[in-house]
């Protein structure tokens, strides 16, 4: 994945070694925008804290082997042979989808649509962190390209790193959009003044002929 060799069994072993984790399986999920991401499915003997689990994995594994998305289930689906039925694993949704904050502004809806396509993830809220729901630097480059092609904004990649939520990205783009919109009437007024001056100049020249 992204040029790195991934050992799914090693990741699963680290997950199973964590307190409270009863079952674990990791899959490399293909994304609609191309490439793949690591998704871990776990069940626990107690409530599983996904943030804490990621922190522990980062201490034990290279960053590229830490799943971008961890889905907590009551139990992993099994097939007739008692093995994990990978085809029955649910498509991951954004964390906290039940309490997500939906976009209300046009620019937020546009950015949410871009994220949904790039991440292959339904239920993106405006306060979800791009990197917590499976995003990485290469996918962020795709977001950058889509913002330029769909919305007409050229955004430095570093700015997208600084603003990893839909809400913060929309806010960072809004001033530029507002300034451009606010300046347009002034530009139109200046153009009309120039045209009027040219008409008066031509009229004056005609009178002196």
Q: What is the CATH number of the domain that holds 116?
A: 1.10.1200.10
Would you place residue 179 in the very low, low, confident or very high pLDDT band (cuts 50, 70, 90)? very low
Would you place residue 188 in the very low, low, confident or very high pLDDT band (cuts 50, 70, 90)? low
Boundaries of domain holding 168: 101-209
- pLDDT digits over 11-50, tens only? 999 999 999 999 999 998 776 555 677 889 999 888 888 8
In order of 99, 158, 180, 191, the CA distances from 125 in angstroms are 9, 22, 27, 43
pLDDT at 58 over 90: no
| Selection from 29, 177, 170 nearest residue 101 by Cα | 170
Would you place residue 180 in the very low, low, confident or very high pLDDT band (cuts 50, 70, 90)? very low
Q: Which residues contact 48 (CB under 8 A, 6 or more apart)?
A: 20, 21, 42, 72
Do 108 and 168 sit in the same domain of this protein? yes
Tell me whether residue 177 is in a domain.
Answer: yes
Do 106 and 76 sit in the same domain of this protein? no
Do the Cβ atoms of 66 and 37 come closer than 8 Å? no
Q: What is the CATH number of the domain that holds 34?
A: 3.30.300.30
Q: What is the pTM of this model?
A: 0.52
- End-of-domain residue from the set 53, 88, 123: 88
Which is it for the CA torsion 87, 119, 4, 30, positive or negative? Answer: positive
| Residue owning tokens 């107690």 | 46
Do 114 and 178 sit in the same domain of this protein? yes
């Amino acid at each position: 994945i992204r040029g790195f060799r991934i050992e799914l069994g090693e990741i699963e072993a680290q997950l199973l070694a964590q307190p409270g984790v009863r079952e674990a399986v990791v899959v490399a999920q293909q994304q609609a925008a191309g490439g793949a991401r690591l998704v871990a499915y776990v069940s626990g003997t107690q409530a599983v804290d996904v943030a804490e689990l990621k922190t522990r994995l980062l201490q034990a594994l290279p960053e590229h082997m830490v799943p971008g998305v961890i889905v907590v289930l009551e139990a992993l689906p099994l097939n007739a042979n008692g093995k994990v039925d990978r085809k029955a694993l649910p498509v991951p949704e954004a964390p906290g989808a039940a309490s997500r904050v939906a976009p209300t502004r046009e620019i937020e809806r546009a950015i949410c649509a871009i994220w949904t396509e790039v991440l292959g993830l339904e239920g993106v809220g405006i306060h979800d962190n791009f990197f917590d729901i499976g995003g990485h630097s290469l996918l962020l480059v795709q977001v950058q390209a889509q913002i330029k092609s769909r919305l007409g904004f050229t955004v430095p990649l570093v700015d997208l790193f600084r603003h990893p939520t839909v809400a913060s990205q929309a806010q960072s783009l809004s001033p530029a959009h507002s300034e451009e919109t606010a300046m347009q009437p002034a530009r139109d007024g200046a153009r009309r003044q120039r045209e009027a001056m040219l008409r008066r100049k031509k009229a004056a020249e005609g009178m002196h002929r």
